[in-house]
Amino acid sequence: MAGVSIVTEIRDKALMKGLGGLMLMTRNTQPMMNVIGVGLVASTVQRFITQTDPEGQAWTPVNKDYGADKRNTRILTESGRLRDSITHFAGNDYAQVGTNVIYARPHQEGAEIVPVHADHLYFRIGGRLIVADRVILPARPFLGISEDDETMIRHTIEGFILRFSRSR
């Protein structure tokens, strides 16, 4: 994904042992990783509703004058394109969640916008012309693993291990 993504890495030793056993038994854990990916997409999309990062912290509010020009008051949802682009890929040993939207990374990590072909940046906010040397875009993380995500991942792996062990 060209935009920004996260890859789930399991560090819980008991889960890793169980997952290793499951991989030895089934040779195919992609369905389980797919379920984890779907769950992570759902929690990521939920963050656009709650306007919070994976740790539950509220995103930095938008500038009031800038927000007045927007179609809605929701942060990072002017068109819904970023939220709607969140997707996942799953393999035998990974679940990757992210987006290919080019402006995702600056919103996820924050950025400093500086003029490239001029001495200043020029833009309008609230009908006023703004001239600036730089603009700081605050980080508003939407990708990441929350405590609830960790619980979902653990339960998903445990459920697959239990179902597989019962079917043998």
Angstrom distances, CA of residue 94 to CA of 5, 10, 24, 30, 158:
12, 9, 16, 8, 16
The span from the CA of 102 to the CA of 117, in Å, is 20
In a domain, 72, yes or no: yes
pLDDT digits (tens, 9 = 90+) for 111-154: 999 999 999 999 998 889 999 999 999 999 999 999 999 999 99
- Total domains in the fold of the chain: 1
User: Domain for residue 124, yes or no?
Assistant: no
pLDDT in tens for each of the 168 residues of the chain?
Answer: 556 666 666 677 777 776 676 666 677 889 999 999 999 999 999 999 999 999 999 999 998 888 887 888 899 998 999 999 999 999 988 999 999 999 999 999 999 999 999 999 999 988 899 999 999 999 999 999 999 999 999 999 889 888 877 766
- Answer whether 88's CB lies under 8 Å from 60's CB: no
**Structural domain contains residue 97:** yes
Average pLDDT over all residues of the chain? 89
Domain presence at residue 123? no
Question: According to the model, what pLDDT value does residue 25 have?
Answer: 65
pLDDT of residue 23: 66
Structural domain range at position 80 = 4-109+139-166
Residue 87 lies in a domain: yes
